Chain A
């Protein structure tokens, strides 16, 4: 006989269920200004031990992988073992990250993307660096291949990143060389991390497939020259006014394991030099001199 068959579904249970359901709906309807502090408070208190255990597990996994990497450098047989696709991809990413660090100088914070579950994976990322490491809201987050997103909220030891796949994300963009400008956003409804779109390209400008697209520096949040993606195809044109293009993204948030958070004070063209996307001097747009404006969240 199934356990507890003789007593279930009393009025008290129904009341408890309705109250819980209402509370969850209230949580769902909370404005962002309330939602973020509540989530941050939970992360700083109840979830702190869980985060520590998970961080330690992540670090342990990484240490194990680093040990494999060192062994592979010494021994040719271990090198063959390092060709396991996942491990090789992570090694490539770390090597590229190290090269990028060298070119960027010291105005950045390195961070590990902590493991997180849920269907929102790829829309927001939890980083292992927070306020104590110098991370602040609205700072750009990059991977070796390009832009990952921007810092949304910051705790003392962790921070939440809004990835470019998030529906609210926008970035001012230009074609390398600074001839054509537009706005890049995630392609709504597509699988997270696969496609982005370049909107607002003047109708007179046509972009061939394969054209690289980078941040323009307009708006003050993202510095100029961070790769966003490459043009894949034209998607639509609205009545002779503008064109919209599909972009193949440079960086996939769901696949990165380590990132750099760019802190304030970068020189004007240091990123363009770091990513090798320097536009001709006469076509460079002017970014606002001071103050960061909220660009990504409408």
Chain B
């Protein structure tokens, strides 16, 4: 019973991030560099859970993301499985309540997700691949990291009390 409330708070934060992705994102950030709130939610969950649970969460989120772009079905699942597992594993060396560490961590995870997804889908090559990985992906990762920092500052109390699952 002791852990129920912190877990509920973590679940509430994840739901808020999901709602922000579906409801707020299309309204406020229609462009290509919109923050990925689902990735933030996945990382917040994975870093507070065991690596295996992070991998399973990554697979589920990835498969759902792949459903809306079926020609590269599996690419997002592949990348988010690795990201989810790595995030759960890295919690030994990451302080999830530190704003700067969270920003760097989310930025790196977002960029790595793009690298893995592009490698798995084989969608771009040569110059376009370089532009995507060196310009567009870092810009998207930056906005996602900013969103993660805002979410962390807003829900710091709830996230701090969230247990390692």
Contact = CB atoms under 8 A, between A and B. Distances in A.
Interface of A: 2-5, 7-10, 12-17, 20-21, 23-30, 35-36, 38-40, 42-43, 46-47, 50, 53-54, 56-58, 60-61, 115-121, 123-124, 126, 152-153, 160, 162, 166-167, 188-192, 254
The 6 tightest CB contacts between A and B, nearest first, are A28-B74, A16-B52, A27-B74, A4-B164, A13-B52, A39-B70
Given A28-B73, A28-B78, A53 B23 contact: yes
A73 to B, nearest CB: 23
Main DSSP-derived SS at the B contact region? helix
For chain B, the bracket of interface size reads 35 or more
Nearest to B49: A4
A78 B98 CA distance: 45
Nearest to A50: B22
A148 B72 CA distance: 19
Contacts of A26: 74
B63 A42 contact: yes
B102 interface: no
B45 to A, nearest CB: 13
A23 B52 contact: no
Interface of B: 19, 22-27, 30, 32, 34, 36, 48, 50-53, 55-56, 58-59, 62-78, 81-82, 85, 88-89, 91-96, 114, 117-118, 120-121, 123-129, 131-132, 164
Contacts of A124: 69-71
Contacts of B27: 57, 60-61
A190 to B, nearest CB: 6
Contact of A24 (B62, B88, B96, B114): B62
A46 B64 contact: yes
Contacts of B66: 27, 39
Given A47-B67, A119-B121, A20 B128 contact: no
A24 B74 contact: yes
A216 B98 CA distance: 60
